[in-house]
Chains A and B, each alone.
Chain A
Amino acid sequence: MKSRCPICGREALLPDDVMPGEVIEHDCGVTLEVVIDGSRALLKPLEIGEDWGE
């Protein structure tokens, strides 16, 4: 599956079974989160929440 990095605009390759909410490290160094929209996988920059943790 292919998508596009919203920061650098280049193509991003995703696993065929990509999960909604999955974290992807793009080649340009940005950490992205997968958003599934119907049959499309979109990418958005990962925003870390203040209550995130183990």
Chain B
Amino acid sequence: MDIALVYDIARWEERAILEAARKRSISVDLLHLETQPLTVNGKPPVEADVYLQRCLSYANALSSTIALESTDLRVVNNSRAIAVAHDKLWTLALLSKAGIPTPRTVIAFSESSTMKAAGTLGYPVVVKPINGSWGRLVSLAEDEETLRVILEHRVYMNNPFLKIHLLQEFVRKPGRDIRVFVVGDEVPVAIYRVSDHWVTNTARGGRAQPAPIDGELRELSLKTAETLGVEIAGLDVFEDPERGYLVNEVNAAPDFRNTVAVTGYDLPGRIVEYLASTTRR
């Protein structure tokens, strides 16, 4: 059983996956995209039973997965799941359609329609691009004036996707959100991301603490993963005082260094074991 690690930048997580595989005598080959080209519908530079997609760059992740899938190779996560998870709008649309609770969301395509939508949604309102990660360009508009300033900044950005504004209600979180991990049909570990700031991403300074996983959260997480088609994922879940759990975002190649540090849970080991088990089926 061979696993290939598809990556561009190797951080603590990728090194941990490698070490976890070694401990279990599972062979891991490296597919480093900067040095190894991929032939469409051709022999890959590294042959393996399963390819674990761990690129930091979304463009690299999606393109390399599509290229590998052209040869009918199994990539985790697959290209559709990567694309869906990267796109916040696509994610929220599919989850909402599946009956999974999410924050109220509107998208708007111009300054005037965004102002109108915010008025309907009610201030404060969260403004974010439909794609992106680590909390980049996520803003909180307390009032019309703040929102107008945020939108003016976006006008001068070249990327057309940054001119589609995803507005969300401001969920009154209890000073934290939950990062839940799904690996196959298991929900092995979760953390709270605690912060005095309303943005709780650990990449933005949120502190990690172990979090319990109750039956409702487990079920919600598995349904979310199934709906988006992700096999390995990190879900961002809010706790709304009235509605309970709301799924906000899904990450297809999640960071987990802080999770391992505060929980002691061997998540890289679980990922490797999952990949090994699925190729033996």
Asked if residues A23 and B11 are in contact (CB atoms below 8 Å), the reply is: yes
Interface residues of B (CB under 8 A from A): 7-11, 14-15, 18, 30, 32, 34-35, 56-59, 132-134, 136, 234, 251-255
Query: Does residue A51 face the partner (Cβ distance < 8 Å to B)?
Result: yes
Asked if residues A19 and B15 are in contact (CB atoms below 8 Å), the reply is: yes
Asked if residues B9 and A54 are in contact (CB atoms below 8 Å), the reply is: no
Q: How many residues of A contact B (CB 8 A)?
A: 13
Asked if residues A54 and B253 are in contact (CB atoms below 8 Å), the reply is: yes
Asked if residues A21 and B133 are in contact (CB atoms below 8 Å), the reply is: no
For residue A4, give the distance in angstroms from its CB to the closest CB of chain B: 20
Asked if residues A54 and B30 are in contact (CB atoms below 8 Å), the reply is: no
Known: A19-B14, A22-B15. Contact between A53 and B32, CB under 8 A? no
CA distance A52 to B133 in the complex (A): 7
Asked if residues A52 and B34 are in contact (CB atoms below 8 Å), the reply is: no
In the complex, residue of chain A having the shortest beta-carbon distance to the beta carbon of B30:
A19
Asked if residues B10 and A51 are in contact (CB atoms below 8 Å), the reply is: no
Which residues of A, 1-54, contact B by the 8 Å Cβ criterion? 19-23, 33, 36, 46, 49, 51-54
In the complex, residue of chain B having the shortest beta-carbon distance to the beta carbon of A22:
B10
CA distance A46 to B9 in the complex (A): 9
CA distance A50 to B134 in the complex (A): 11
CA distance A54 to B259 in the complex (A): 14
Asked if residues A53 and B8 are in contact (CB atoms below 8 Å), the reply is: no
In the complex, residue of chain B having the shortest beta-carbon distance to the beta carbon of A17:
B18
For residue B10, give the distance in angstroms from its CB to the closest CB of chain A: 4
In the complex, residue of chain B having the shortest beta-carbon distance to the beta carbon of A34:
B10
Asked if residues B57 and A52 are in contact (CB atoms below 8 Å), the reply is: yes
Known: A19-B18, A20-B10, A52-B56; 17 extra A-B contacts, CB below 8 A, are: A19-B30, A20-B34, A21-B7, A22-B14, A23-B10, A33-B9, A49-B56, A51-B58, A51-B59, A53-B132, A53-B133, A53-B134, A53-B136, A53-B251, A54-B251, A54-B254, A54-B255
In order of increasing CB-CB distance, the 6 nearest A-B pairs are A53-B133, A54-B251, A22-B10, A51-B58, A19-B10, A52-B56
User: What residues of chain A lie closer than 8 Å to B34, measured between beta carbons?
Assistant: 20-21
User: What residues of chain B lie closer than 8 Å to A33, measured between beta carbons?
Assistant: 9
Asked if residues A21 and B10 are in contact (CB atoms below 8 Å), the reply is: yes
Asked if residues B30 and A20 are in contact (CB atoms below 8 Å), the reply is: yes
User: What residues of chain B lie closer than 8 Å to A36, measured between beta carbons?
Assistant: 35
User: What residues of chain B lie closer than 8 Å to A46, measured between beta carbons?
Assistant: 9
User: What residues of chain A lie closer than 8 Å to B9, measured between beta carbons?
Assistant: 21-23, 33, 46, 52
CA distance A21 to B59 in the complex (A): 17
CA distance A33 to B14 in the complex (A): 14
For residue B173, give the distance in angstroms from its CB to the closest CB of chain A: 19
User: What residues of chain B lie closer than 8 Å to A21, measured between beta carbons?
Assistant: 7-10, 32, 34
CA distance A31 to B58 in the complex (A): 21
CA distance A47 to B58 in the complex (A): 15
